[in-house]
Structure 1
């Protein structure tokens, strides 16, 4: 081998060693090694959402999955307003009571056992511009009781009704066994009336806070 060829071989070896030192073997940098085979990060769920988010992609506040959320709280009770959740649907008296109990967690159709609570419920009806609501009042013998067991110790009966008689008057064939609150239905303000249970109305549900 001539001196010129030897010089060329030495030069190529030097260049090769320099390339190995400054340019290490290429790794797979075009993919994130922390991703799975589907290309998603393992901290995400199978649908690509983070576990702390709900199905609509909103972060769930603490307690949002613990049951039905109350619409308002007053005097140690929570209240659920049916019309805010069902597009204004109305129910028979028995269906209204069933709706409340089906919510679970101690919900029942509202019982009113103090003047303060009476004023509060009447205020809701006025502010929401409701024509009427069902309560949890049901006839028991010749009187009424609350389905949730609260004492029937305060009343807001109207002085008039369909027969222009004080309430309760049991005028619909003796079958007015449910207690509704009507909003100025007989030009009497927001007052209680005994009503036949087949009529349709929204309901306020209540449970102890």
Structure 2
């Protein structure tokens, strides 16, 4: 069963102390444009950046379904303007973030199963999630070692995943392209890119619908999930818009 790990990729002292008595909105601003800026620079060499939300796009964002708790989701393959369009991991994140959303983070078993049901129902081969391996500058902390076991996190919410060895707390597949349990970094072992992003594959290896580590440059459909921090920031900075 998947549960929310209370540990985050950033140390609690580093997250809490700098804010002091600042307002909740200022905390959101710092998270969106402070911590994520440095994280983005580390993750995306070559000039690509993690995009900021766009007020107009946030106001007109498309929601295909909402969960009982009210959170909205957009499925790229259901959106007419995205029909046939697939993005690499960063491209998917940026499409979502411009609309006050982010790639989906499967933080609970309920959400994980809910998303998997829609993948199966819509006959989608695979999707991107916000999951990523913390293998860039700043990830040398002892509690993240070894990175392949303790270094995975949901980037959209800066939430650390349970160790990959704890199979009760995650949904990693038992097999993959080289018949090894996921994550296996198969592509790098075969002379290719590091598999440092997390995708959900639909029975791709006759293994059911499960998590796989995949090189981030591959293009896939994606699911956007409303991001409350981005929504709060845009509502605060654009009070005239109905968002």
What interval of TM-score do these two structures reach, taking the shorter chain for normalisation? 0.5 to 0.7
**Structure 2 equivalent of residue 88 of structure 1:** 84
Matches of 2:157 and 2:200, distance apart in 1: 19
Unaligned runs of 5+ in 2: 1-57, 136-146, 163-168, 229-243
- Which of 111, 114, 118 pairs up with 1:117? 111
* SS of equivalent to 2:186: coil
**Structure 2 equivalent of residue 67 of structure 1:** 60
**Structure 1 equivalent of residue 213 of structure 2:** 194
Matches of 1:116 and 1:144, distance apart in 2: 20
Unaligned runs of 5+ in 1: 1-64
Q: Which runs of 4+ in 1 moved over 3 A?
A: none
**Structure 1 equivalent of residue 179 of structure 2:** 164
Matches of 2:111 and 2:172, distance apart in 1: 15
* SS of equivalent to 2:118: helix
The structure richer in helix per residue is: 2
1:145 aligns with 2:153: yes
User: Could you give the per-residue CA deviations for residues 120-166 of structure 1, whole angstroms, max 9, x where no partner exists?
Assistant: 01101001100000011111141211121163354210000011000
User: Could you give the per-residue CA deviations for residues 164-185 of structure 1, whole angstroms, max 9, x where no partner exists?
Assistant: 0000001111610110000001
The residue correspondences of 1:1-209 to structure 2 (distance < 5 A) are: 66-76=59-69, 77-85=71-79, 86-103=82-99, 105=100, 107-141=101-135, 142=147, 143-149=151-157, 151=159, 152-153=161-162, 154-173=169-188, 175-208=194-227
Matches of 2:59 and 2:227, distance apart in 1: 16
TM-score, normalised on structure 1?
A: 0.64
Number of residues of Structure 1 aligned to a counterpart in Structure 2: 143
Larger Rg: 1
TM-score, normalised on structure 2?
A: 0.55
Q: Once superposed, what is the RMSD of the aligned Cα atoms?
A: 1.8
Asked if the contact 1:110–1:206 (Cα under 8 Å) also holds between the matched residues in 2, the reply is yes
